[in-house]
Amino acid sequence: MSPRPAPTRGDDTARRFLDAAAQLIDAMFVSSVDDRPPRLRSLDFPAALEWLRIEDVVRLTDGVSRKAFHNRWETKDAFIRDAVIHTILYRDQPDADPTRTDQRTFADAARLAQGTLSRITALLADDLLNTLLQHPRSFLLMHVGPVLAQHPDLHDAILDRLHETRRPWYEGYGYLLTTLGMRLRPGWTIERVGMAITAMLDGFLLRTRVHPAEMQALRWENASLFADTITAFSLGVVDTGSGLSARAALDATR
């Protein structure tokens, strides 16, 4: 009788474990609980923060008992929900919140750039990206974002926060356009511009972590790839007097 093969991480049994893990990973990112396979609907999510242990939380509070914790939260999931909101809102260090701004930020950028739109854009873009990269929790939203559709109450709380923080940015964009005597192309609004920039920023935050050396190498003339991308985007949405939409302007270059 030949000896039984030694177990490996690539054998049939290992693949069954890995297949099961893939099912769980897929189930974490579906758009609603109803989209999970029936046998997975009883699992607790968001599993994205499953690594956070109550024991560690209690130990870091220096003397507060585990009983005191459970007097406030009956389940770990309830605590995780409150912890996510508390962290995203910067309730522990409100002065450190990098997403807050006001009109002075844009006025200072305009002054430092001496009114040149490209320099203003580069200054604001690089400053924002660098500031967010200095705060680890800038990555929290992309960590839990894909599972928010399964947790409407948490989703609503985070949306309220995002609406609150982006309003001053929208006002700042409007201030720059007015100050520089510019307007947006037909079809574009401050809200559309703001959402597009936010979406690009999310992508650059992730890619800067994934490709740090490449992102550094792609800098050009003292501006990051993000700053140059926002510059190119601005060229497409700022009306130079033609009155053409961005699509019409692109077609006119043929």
**CA–CA separation, 92 and 140 (whole Å):** 15
Cβ-Cβ contacts under 8 Å for 177 (sequence gap 6 or more): 183, 184, 238
* Amino acid, single-letter form, for residue 96: A
Written as six digits, the tokens of 80 are 């995780």
145, 101, 160: which is closest to 127 by C-alpha? 101
- Counting DSSP H helices and E strands in the chain, the numbers are 12, 2
pTM attached to this predicted model:
0.80
**CA–CA separation, 190 and 185 (whole Å):** 11
Task: For the chain, 254 residues long, give each residue's pLDDT as a single digit of tens.
Answer: 677 788 777 778 777 777 777 776 667 666 677 777 777 777 655 556 777 788 888 888 877 888 888 889 888 888 888 888 888 888 888 888 888 877 777 777 777 767 677 888 888 899 889 989 888 888 888 888 888 888 888 899 889 888 888 888 888 888 888 888 889 999 999 999 999 999 999 999 999 999 999 999 999 888 899 999 999 999 999 998 889 999 998 898 87
